[in-house]
Structure formats: structure tokens, C-alpha cells
Structure 1
Amino acid sequence: MNFSVDERYNAVVITLKGNVMGGPDGAKLHETLHELKEQGKTNVVVDLSKVKFMNSSGLGMLISGLTTMRNAGGDLRLANVADRIQSLLVITKLITVFKHYDSVEEAVKSYEEA
């Protein structure tokens, strides 16, 4: 997995690519989220449109990121959740924990409305 970070309006968009399975990549994402938090950037959108596969460690990364941002007074929202990942979120009941949107634009806009 790799990822890119892009700032749009009042949110930071992190686009995950490839297989999301935790490990060293998860640690790198964790560091990035903590750096954003220290900069006061706590409105994060994770774009999952380029994710091929996600396992439980990948889900754990998202939960950790969500906790980090919420503890800092922000949020972590999901965008472009593919069917196979959405079913994983439904099975684990995490679909009720994460706010999720059909597009990055909708997710970014949701911060403006809050």
C-alpha cells in the first residue's frame, strides 16, 4: 500500500492505493495522521477508490486514525468505498462508526456543513 496526501478547502484527503494490510505502511499512515494533528489539520477524508484489498489490520489502521482525529476534535471520513470493502464494514458493524460518502467531494463538503 502507498498513499498520497492532498489538502482541499478545510480538509485533508488521503488517497490509499493497493492492498491495505497494516504493517510498516500502517505505521507510516499513523505518523502522517499525527503530523496532521500537530498542525491542527483534523478534518480528514480517506479515499478508498484505489484500494484493491483490505484485511483486519487495514481496518485497524482506519479505526486508529479515526480515534486519533476524534480525540483531537476532528473526524476521519471515508469516500469511494468499494462494494467489497463496504461489505467488510457492514460485517464488522464499522459502517455505523464511520461517516462514508460516495465521493471525495461529498466528504470534503460534509465538513463545511458541520
Structure 2
Amino acid sequence: MKYQAELKDDILFIRLEGDLVAGTDTQQMIENVDKEQDGKVLLCAVDLSNVRFMDSSGMGVLVSLLTKFRNRGGELVLIKPSNHIRKLLIVTKLNAIFTIAENDNFAAQFLKESIY
């Protein structure tokens, strides 16, 4: 899995590509997000549009990120998950805790409204 993190208008956009599965790269991503942002960023959008496959540990990564941001008083939103990922979220009932946005603009609007 590859990822890019970009801070834009006080929102951390994390763009994932490939397979979101257990591995050192997923754990390293979580650690790097914490280290780079030093716990100061409250809003996060995770772009899943280029994620081909996700297993239970990948879902754990998303839940871990969501928990980190909510514990800070912030929020996290998922951007454009594939049909496969959407079905996984529904089957696991994680669709009840994640907000799904269709694009960056909707994600940013939702996140900014969530803290005010």
C-alpha cells in the first residue's frame, strides 16, 4: 500500500493506493500521521478511491484513525470508497460510524461543519 498525506485548509487528506491489509506499511502510516501532525490536526479525510482490496486489519486501520481523531475532539470522513469497500463497510456495520463523501469538497464541507 502507498499513501500520501497532505494538509490543506486545516484538514489532513490521506490518499491510499493499493491494498489496505496488515503489514508494516499500514502501521508505519498510522505512526507517521501522528508524528507529522503532532496531534494538532483535528480533521481528516481518507481517500479510498484507489484502494483495490481491504481486509479486517485494513478496517482496523480505519477505525484506529477515526478513534485518534475523535479522541482529539475531531472527525474523520472516508472519500469515495469502491463498491467492494462499501459492501465491506455495510456487512461489518462500520457504515454506521463512518461518514462517506463522494469528493474532496463534500468531505471538507462536512468536516468543517462537524466542529462548529
Normalised by the size of structure 1, how large is the TM-score? 0.93
Q: Contact between 2:12 and 2:45, CA under 8 Å: does it hold in 1?
A: yes
CA distance in 2, matches of 1:22, 1:73: 27
The aligned runs of 1:1-114 (5 Å cut-off) are: 1-114=1-114
The percent identity for this pair of structures is 32
Aligned residue pair count? 114
Normalised by the size of structure 2, how large is the TM-score? 0.91
Q: Contact between 1:53 and 1:85, CA under 8 Å: does it hold in 2?
A: yes
Cα shift readout 1:25-55 (whole Å, capped 9, x = no counterpart)? 1211211232255251120000001101111
CA distance in 1, matches of 2:111, 2:91: 27
Gap regions ≥5 residues in structure 1: none
Structure 1 segments (4+ residues) deviating >4 Å = none
Q: Contact between 1:37 and 1:72, CA under 8 Å: does it hold in 2?
A: no
Gap regions ≥5 residues in structure 2: none
- The CA RMSD over aligned residues, in Å, is 1.3
